[in-house]
Amino acid sequence: MIPVAEFKQFTEQQPAFKVLKPWWDVLAEYLTVAMLMIGVFGCTLQVTQDKIICLPSHEPRENLSEAPCQQLLPRGVSEPMGDLRELSGLKNNLDLQQYSFINQLCYETALHWYAKYFPYLVVIHTLIFMVCTSFWFKFPGTSSKIEHFISILGKCFDSPWTTRALSEVSGENHKGPAATTAGRATVTLTTTAGEGEKEKVLPEPEKVVTEPPAVTLLDKKEGEQAKALFEKVKKFRVHVEEGDILYTMYIRQTVLKVCKFLAILVYNLVYVGKISFLVACRVETSEVTGYASFCCNHTKAHLFSKLAFCYISFVCVYGITCLYTLYWLFHRPLKEYSFRSVREETGMGDIPDVKNDFAFMLHLIDQYDSLYSKRFAVFLSEVSESRLKQLNLNHEWTAEKLRQKLQRNARGRLELALCMLPGLPDTVFELSEVEALRLEAIGDITFPPGLSQLVHLQELSLLHSPARLPFSSQIFLRDRLKVIRIKCEELREVPLWVFGLRGLEELHLEGLFPPELARAATLESLRELKQLKVLSLRSNAGKVPASVTDVAGHLQRLSLHNDGARLLALNSLKKLAVLRELELVACGLERIPHAVFSLGALQELDLRDNHLRSIEEILSFQHCRKLLTLRLWHNQIAYVPEHVRKLRGLEQLYLSHNKLETLPTQLGMCSSLRLLDVSHNGLHSLPAELGLLQNLQHLALSYNALEFLPDELFFCRKLRTLLLGYNLLSQLAPQVGALRALSRLELKGNRLEALPEELGNCGGLKKSGLLVEDTLYDGLPAEVRDRMEAE
């Protein structure tokens, strides 16, 4: 006997592949097994038993025109069988070896090839059918995709996250009108999908959707596994949707099976009649046996004919399944797959439709069990993925861990800063004591209703963290939020809800205008910001945005940082009647803008990092009677005009990092000056008139080329900070001891050989406030050092 297991290698597949075998492939597989059994059974009989038995014919040669055995064929039921009885008992005078010779010779020459090889043909054809059915599971170009898909599909089906996601949807559906009485709760889960789905869904693992979500809580490990599945599904989808090799291969093997079926059916119907019980045999063996005509009996002809008709019947059924498969392949587009029903059932409206091989495999999965597609669709939904990320975040960032990150910011508010997270943990909203929330590099933030728990929140920073705010949360923040900072790539990414925060006092925006919009510099209307006092804009604007005038009646501080882009139009600044502080930083300015001189309430002006060479317009600042601070640092100013004397009310003047070589004597007439910073210039000397600045408390002269100091400088008795580092000073006048209020003195980087002992008279100067080389400090008298080191 030939065991059927020997043929297993032709059809052996991984058990998991069964999900890609629709009912017709399963039926065809059973049919091939039946046909294989017929072939194996026939081959076994043919190998183990005699094939043909022959007897010589005693007809005279002149009567041999009629085929031998013809008279033995039945001619009717009523015909007498006397002739058979007359031939019985004849002696042929042949021995056993002659009979064996005749049997073998007639088997090879007289028996029809179909009757001779029928069992082998059945086995060969069946093996070809088997190969055609499973070829796409073995072909390298398709088997890898199938194995990968089956692996992902099984993990998605068994993932606890799938159960949880569908449970949440089920819980939401039960709250709606779909929920009925408790006795019918289980049935109502599937009534919308039709009666056919009831019987399929309820017995399968999908029945867990009737359980409350608390039963399917995920631990951290399961959450990480589900996260990895989302990434695998994304990459697999991109890879498989590129081509249609699976679809094409399945069509080709189906067409091949149909052609094979037609060929087998035709030639079997033609030749099945050749399997006969009696076979006439004429061979020239008279010299050996004395006979040339023989009548032979094919011993298994009757059984083979029955097996042939059974085989043809199975082939017909097999062919019908192949034809149906072709119909299924071409009667609708299998290279497109829609999850519309799943979207309607689960409520995940963002599940995308798929195409090509991905779609084809899902169509095959539906023929096995549509529940697989439904559970697999969970991992195609971005909404589902965001929920999973949220769950993982909540596991990782507990309320206790977040509370440890709370710190006081520069404004004294209790701040929670989160950076580079995949999302915003829900546990953040359990910290009701938070006053400032800083989110940096966190993508796709959607503030939940739990935001209303942050009752003390006053400051919000969104740095490269786009955020969506539901209407209910907008109402909550509208009057509570005082400070908001937005940093993004382009200003058009700023959320619109920001401009509806009526209680906002400070708005800080950082981002670029698109090149085509930079000159217009259009910003959203600020009309709703009735309490706005501070506006900071860091961009590449070509002019001051027109919407700034919307808050002209109450804006007190305006900061424009242009990152070197030239700011051309500044006329709208004239309308800011109550503006107190103005910063025009890195705006490419070459002269002080005339619009600034119209700001009667201006107290501070900062023109840092521009291209100012001349400040002759400084005379016009006399119209800004409230101006207290003027910052002209980090420019290219070569001189200060004499009419600086007009700025009698100026208290702070910053001229560091310029190209000054001298200072005008008229600077001494700025009697209110308390701070003067001219460090990082090229000054060689100082005017003696600086001694007139009796209110001067801070004087920065570091990084210049000063060789000496005028004695009159030490008349500034209120001086507390004197920075003289990195000059060319060779000595320090003893008059320094007159500066009783001095608490900080920098002398490093000079050419000093010794320090005057009069430093001991500076009662406020301690060792920590004296910045000088150690050798010079050690040269001071011991009592002076002791006094400085005393607390």
- Could you report the per-residue pLDDT of 371-418, keeping only the tens digit for each? 888 888 888 888 777 777 778 888 888 899 999 999 999 989 999 999
DSSP string, 622-661: GG-TT--EEE--SS------GGGGG-TT--EEE--SS--S
- pLDDT top residue among 622 and 5: 622
Predicted local distance difference test score (pLDDT) of residue 176: 46
Do residues 762 and 739 touch, judged by C-beta distance below 8 A? yes
Q: Is 657 left (phi over 0), alpha (psi -120 to 50) or beta?
A: left
CATH architecture type of domain 1-58+94-168+219-396: Up-down Bundle (1.20)
Do residues 161 and 226 touch, judged by C-beta distance below 8 A? yes
- Could you report the per-residue pLDDT of 159-181, keeping only the tens digit for each? 887 777 777 665 555 444 433 33
Evaluate if residue 341 carries a pLDDT over 50: yes
Do residues 366 and 197 touch, judged by C-beta distance below 8 A? no
Do residues 135 and 249 touch, judged by C-beta distance below 8 A? yes
Give the closest residue to 714 by CA, choosing from 665, 754, 758, 767.
758
All CATH 3.80.10.10 domain ranges in the chain, comma separated: 628-790
- Could you report the per-residue pLDDT of 484-532, keeping only the tens digit for each? 999 999 888 888 899 989 999 999 999 988 877 767 677 788 888 989 9
- Cβ-proximal residues to 490 (8 Å cutoff; 6+ apart), any chain: 511, 512, 513, 514
DSSP string, 137-185: HHSHHHHHHHHHHHHHHHHHHH-HHHHHHHHHHHHHHHHTTT---GGGH
Give the pLDDT mean for 223-251: 85
Do residues 648 and 671 touch, judged by C-beta distance below 8 A? yes
Do residues 722 and 745 touch, judged by C-beta distance below 8 A? yes
Give the pLDDT mean for 64-71: 55
Give the closest residue to 35 by CA, choosing from 274, 258, 262, 316.
316
Record: fold of 628-790: 3.80.10
At 394, list the tokens.
């909540």
- Residues counted in the chain: 791
Global pTM exceeds 0.85: no
All CATH 1.20.1440.80 domain ranges in the chain, comma separated: 1-58+94-168+219-396
**Residue type at 666?**
Q
3-state helix/strand/coil string of 410-423: CCCCEEEEEECCCC
| Angle made by CA atoms 132, 133, 138, in degrees to the nearest 5 | 80
Predicted local distance difference test score (pLDDT) of residue 4: 54
Per DSSP bridges, beta strands 557-561 and 278-282 are: unpaired
Give Cα 141 distance to the centre of its chain: 27
Kind and range of the H or E element at 711? none
Sign of the dihedral through C-alpha 277, 281, 286, 288: negative
Q: Give the model's confidence band at 113: pLDDT under 50 very low, under 70 low, under 90 confident, else very high.
A: confident
Evaluate if residue 730 carries a pLDDT over 60: yes
In terms of Cβ atoms closer than 10 Å to its own Cβ (0-12, 13-18, 19+), residue 15 is exposed
Sign of the dihedral through C-alpha 539, 544, 550, 556: positive
